[in-house]
Amino acid sequence: MAPLNDTPAGALKIRVKRKIYPASGVRAEQPVLKDIAIDIEPRSFVVLTGPSGCGKSTLLNIIAGLDSEYEGEVALGGPDTRLGYIFQSPRLLPWRTVYENIALALPDGDARHGRIEDMLRQVGLEGFSSQYPERLSLGMQRRAALARGFITEPDVLLMDEPFVSLDDPTAQGLRELLIGLWNRRPTTVIFVTHDRAESVMLGTRILRMSGTNATIVQDETVRLSPSERTDRDKVLAEQRRIFRET
């Protein structure tokens, strides 16, 4: 990933001309992405949505630098841009406590170690810092993953369906938690989901991807104020507008 000259940290320029999974054994060559061109402003909350298997996570991995086998370029604003990634799985080390799992994201001696307990309080895990992941519910583990993602104060935070497989009340609680964290510490977020209601509730901008050999087919600004994002009726109305639902 190359830095963008004279551009604030948190800005991105994404150009993916083509991404193909090569033929393997009896499997034919599989086109995944084509002609992706996205410019993202700092401190925006961008949601990538579309049908399952359309390449959303592949694009996120390209942005993260985890996949370099594509034609194109991803450029980040500022040479010292900090990038974080929250995966579908909480990815907590079972032999380390909640505190230790979060501390792993920080360099030794970093002053932000002193903020871990406060971050745990913000995500509703006050009093759980010495617990091991196996003692936590999946929802609580995902709260710990959010704390780890935000404690590093990233300029860009990538999130790949972090609330998938949760029951509705737990997922809704985590969405509201994420909105609160982002409002207190705005950062550039790129969030992957196939859930249309979730995309409207969280995003300031929605990029909808097509199916096979995916490209961006819709680019919408979400017209909801911060207070309206937890109003189910307002979210539903905006969802209908954006996705042309009746």
- Predicted local confidence at residue 47, as pLDDT: 97
Q: Which uninterrupted H or E stretch holds 18? A: strand 12-21
Q: What is the C-alpha to C-alpha distance for residues 49 and 215, in angstroms, rounded to an integer?
A: 11
Residue 62 in any domain: the answer is no
Specify if 121 maps to a domain.
Answer: yes
In a domain, 106, yes or no: yes
pTM for the predicted model, two decimal places:
0.92
Residue 149 placed within a domain: yes
Q: What is the pLDDT of residue 6?
A: 60
pLDDT at 29: 86
Do 90 and 144 contact (CB within 8 A), yes or no? yes
Is residue 113 situated within a structural domain? Answer: yes
DSSP 8-state secondary structure symbol assigned to residue 12: E
Question: Would residue 64 count as lying in a domain?
Answer: no
Residue 139 lies in a domain: yes
Residue type, position 11, single letter: A
pLDDT for position 3: 59
Q: What is the pLDDT of residue 218?
A: 95
Structural domain that includes position 127: 92-153
Token look-up 């519910």 returns: 137
pLDDT number for residue 9: 78
Strand partners, 219: 207
Q: Which positions of the chain have pLDDT values less than 70?
A: 1-7, 246
Q: Count Cα neighbours of 11 within 13 Å in the Cβ-side half-sphere.
A: 14
Question: Is residue 211 situated within a structural domain?
Answer: no
Q: What is the C-alpha to C-alpha distance for residues 111 and 187, in angstroms, rounded to an integer? A: 20
Number of domains observed in the structure of the chain: 1
Beta-carbon count within 10 A of 117 CB: 15
